[in-house]
Amino acid sequence: MKASPEIRTYKGGLEFRAASDGASIGTLVGYAAKFNKQSRNLGGFVEQLAPTAFNKSLADGVRVMARYNHEDNGLLGTTDAGTLRLEVDDIGLRYEVDLPDTSVGRDVAALAARGDVRFSSFAFHVPPGGDEWGYTDSDFPLRTVRAAHLVDVAPVNDPAYLDTTSGLRSLAEARGLDLAIVRDHAARDELRVLLKKDMDGEPTPEPAAPVAEEATPEAPTDAERAASLDVARRRLELLRVPR
């Protein structure tokens, strides 16, 4: 089964432009991604996008969708229909989508015009070798995405998307580390320790062996209880024998 795409969200920069010719209900314009901007802490590491991240997707003309909140029932436009247009500039990945005259299109137009929808997001897969790991100036683990397969761009209500599983899996695969160890170090905010050990050629810890559960003793049967009582009675009788 194909892995779920990673999702990243950017605050601000979404603009609604009302249509002047009546051909559509309006256009959304914004940046789905910005280059060379370090993300917040994504669970033990930060991330940035290289300006080359989307070159292959755009050059190959892959079908990219615009979906409200990344939902299948929130389709707003597609690149193959020409209702979604993408371009890369010095800032990042810019998109324009002509909103459809559908219930979701009208909802998004009304919400964006009022300023309720102000965030943009994108979904992507990173191919093998598409990212590299290093450190920030403050010695914090840094993932740089240099190539990404773009899935969709999306105006979203909530900027709080936080997906770290794919990033940690990418680190484990790239460095030949056990994923359970990577996740454990990230959870304890010690990913930098693990990464530094690996980069410095030091041995990394082995996965913890599962702790065997102690067997629960079985309750004695009625026959065993009777035999035990019989032995106890015999001992008492021997103690009562006069010497």
| pLDDT of amino acid 214 | 55
| pLDDT of amino acid 179 | 84
| pLDDT of amino acid 130 | 94
| pLDDT of amino acid 173 | 76
116 phi/psi in degrees, rounded to 5: -75, -35
CA dist 15 and 79 (Å) reads 19
24 phi/psi in degrees, rounded to 5: -145, 175
| pLDDT of amino acid 110 | 95
Q: Among 107, 150, 137, 120, which Cα is nearest to 38's?
A: 137
Give me Rg for the CA atoms of the chain: 30
Domain locations in the chain?
Answer: 6-199
pTM, two decimal places:
0.73
**DSSP at 70:** G
For 177-232, write each residue's pLDDT tens digit. 888 888 888 888 788 888 777 666 666 665 555 545 555 566 667 776 666 767 66
Spans of the chain, pLDDT less than 70: 1-2, 12, 22-23, 159-166, 198-220, 224-227, 229, 231-232, 235-243
